[in-house]
Structure 1
Amino acid sequence: MAAKRVSFPSEPLTLSCVKSVFSLFKSAPKGKSAAYFSPGEDCLSAIQECLRAAKSSLRICVFTISDDRITQAILAAHRKGIKIQLLTDNEKLFDKGSDIRQLAQAGIKVKVDNTTNHMHHKFVLVDNTQVLTGSYNWTRSAALYNHENVLVTSDPQVVAGYAREFTRLWNEMTFLT
């Protein structure tokens, strides 16, 4: 429509610039995103903030949880009435310091991977509108000794992809007994 109305000498250049700007906006990620890195407390703080920000649900999919600061944030969300689903690797349940059974005993729905594969994801969906993901294991050593990363985004396409993966795994895994 705009192409038909432009009728001055610099028309091709102006129209080209306008089209370029609009194509940038169309392809730009939707929603906010932020990256965090460790060692240090930045990744841990991002995780805690996402857990605290939940209004209705947390869908957690992590290899293990042994950092009591994260466990306490999950339990606080549970006490607020946030619906929590937790997927984890079955073999990590037996590690010293694993907090998975504590979370299950508190009434959080926990499913474990009983396949020959390791469930090695590390992500959480917050209210199905935001995802936190990255290499960061939810352990104290990740904050203290490892070079790790966490990405938080509310890009709808990214969130939808993680939601599909969570649902697929939730349907595949078995409840912790």
Structure 2
Amino acid sequence: MPAWEVCFTPGGNCADLIVREIGRAQRQVLVQAYSFTSPTIAQALIAAKRRGVDVQVILDRSQLSERYGSGDFLSHAGIPVLVDDPPGIAHNKVMVIDGEVVITGSFNFTRSAQERNAENLLVLRDQTLAADYMANWERRRAASVPYDRALESRPSNTAPNSPKRALSNLF
């Protein structure tokens, strides 16, 4: 296998590339997602979980109010889903597979990223790089809380429409 693969949309089938890599997972898939509404990718993660793969997901807080988000779907399938709580936006789009493969880029795990947007996706096969991404995933997990739609109504100074967030988005 090549050390890296790249995919661009429009034109490339990045979602299929992600699903293929999830299908190859044998031990673990760690996910960080800003926006996650792709049923195809969610189903691939559930299939991996059913094969005995340890699948864990950290979502941005915005996914609590996402009408078609994958948080509920994944958590009901027994996949631990967390919400990255403290940052203004948890803008990561990352998967780490078996401590060897990193999937990252601008590509959100959404149908829009595949069908409408101009996006990029990298698949990188490097254990040292994967270790760095796993360490970051662990730091974000430590700062996260369990996925629960009740969190949507919890006051937060990082809520999408808060003055603090509005100002921070300007800079």
TM class, shorter-length: 0.7 to 0.9
| 2:143 match | 172
Structure 1 residue 84: Cα displacement? 0.7
Alpha-carbon distance in structure 2 between the residues aligned to 1:99 and 1:40 = 25
Alpha-carbon distance in structure 1 between the residues aligned to 2:16 and 2:126 = 21
| 1:38 match | 9
Moved over 3 A (4+): none
Q: TM-score, normalised by structure 2?
A: 0.81
| 2:93 match | 122
Mark the structure with the bigger radius of gyration.
1
Q: Deviations over 1:109-141 (max 9, x none)?
A: 111022241111001000111111110011101
Alpha-carbon distance in structure 1 between the residues aligned to 2:118 and 2:16 = 15
SS in 1 for 2:52: coil
Q: TM-score, normalised by structure 1?
A: 0.79
Normalized per residue, the structure richer in helix is 1
1:113 equivalent to 2:84? Answer yes
Gaps of at least 5 residues in structure 2 are 149-171
1:65 to 29, 36, 39: 36
**Does the CA contact (< 8 Å) of 1:48 and 1:73 recur in 2?**
yes
Identity, in percent, stands at: 30
| 2:48 match | 77
1:134 to 101, 105, 119: 105
Report the count of equivalent residues: 147
Gaps of at least 5 residues in structure 1 are 1-30
Structure 1 residue 158: Cα displacement? 1.6
